[in-house]
Amino acid sequence: MTGFARSEGETDGITWAWEIKSVNGKSLDLRFRLPPGCDALEVPLRALLSERLKRGSVTANLSIVRSTSGANLRVNRAALEQVLSLARELQREVGATPPSTDGLLALKGVLESGEEDGLDPEARARREAALLAGCRRAVDELAGMRRAEGARLDAVLCERLDEIAGLVAAAERTAALQPEAVRARLKSLVDALKDAVPAIAEDRLAQEAALLVAKADVREELDRLGAHIAAARELLAEGAVIGRRLDFLCQEFHREANTLCSKSADVELTRIGLALKAAIEQLREQVQNIE
């Protein structure tokens, strides 16, 4: 979801430039930096970016340079009078030096440009349309850059899924999951319960044996991991807006891997489970880049 785009142009006495930057984010977070007099653009800009982008933290910056710089300047008399009044009070109270003319004009709000007020509605609409068109070109470039990044990540995600599938297959092949091993382990545990003092009742012994079998059986977790791998491959083949759904699948991957490790009573199976968790975490990190 990372990218950068820029577009620039000139219209009705101004030169403008859009810069749009995108970084990773779980949802779509839009931020605009617009010069004074352009606040009316924010609503259509939000609609435009929300239509084209679905995830990421996006900042759109608009800079404007007027070709008639310094024209139609005027003094805000109310602001100037307020500043002079405060200056006179300070002179009386602390003997402050009277302000200079250039110092007064440099104060924010005292010197204003009257150009925007001189725009008729038709000229203002024409300027806003040109600025929106320029932003649309920048968004198109940004979307193309994000698509190119997604295409490169597709191979990386497939590689991570292949690694996870290989670890699941290795877990299924471990000796700990073979019927003979499960039977032998269960028999030793049941024998230990039978030899307990005081003796355990037969119905209680059956309950304990059933619990041991349920705890030792990780085939359900392995089957779910296989189903999640298939679902992830289908999403990648879909090629649409899949980032959030992949996020959810990664959570399910983690859940099954954690359960597998907690149930494991075999060193080799535990080792595979830890490697599986590491591969899933690598997959999750890459999924954060997917829209």
User: Minimal CA–CA distance to 11: which of 129, 178, 158, 153?
Assistant: 129
Residues with Cβ within 8 Å of residue 291, at least 6 apart in sequence:
1, 53, 54, 55, 56, 146, 150, 241, 242, 243
What distance in Å separates the CA atoms of residue 161 and residue 276, rounded to the nearest whole number? Answer: 11
Rounded distance between C-alpha atoms, residue 82 and residue 99, angstroms: 13
The superfamily (CATH) of domain 147-287 is Invertase/pectin methylesterase inhibitor family protein (1.20.140.40)
Tokens for 92? 């009386």
Q: What is the pLDDT of residues 258-272, one digit of tens each?
A: 988 887 777 888 899
Alpha-carbon dihedral sign for residues 274, 279, 285, 288? negative
| Residue 75, beta-bridge partner list | 111
Residue extents of the structural domains in the chain: 3-70+121-144, 73-113, 147-287
Distance CA(144)–CA(159), nearest Å, equals: 24
Percent of the chain's residues with pLDDT above 90: 30
CATH code linked to domain 3-70+121-144: 3.30.230
Other Cβ atoms closer than 10 A to 228: 22
Residue 171 has pLDDT above 50, yes or no: yes
Beta bridge partners of 29: 57
200 has a pLDDT exceeding 50: yes
- pLDDT value at position 70? 46
Question: Do residues 29 and 37 make contact, with C-beta atoms less than 8 angstroms apart?
Answer: no
Write down the pLDDT at residue 86.
Answer: 85
110-133: pLDDT as tens digits: 776 655 545 678 888 888 899 999
Q: Tell me: pLDDT of 92 over 50.
A: yes
First to last CA, the chain: 6
Helical (H) or strand (E) element with 194: helix 179-194
Specify the higher pLDDT residue, 77 or 278: 278
Q: What is the pLDDT of residue 24?
A: 81
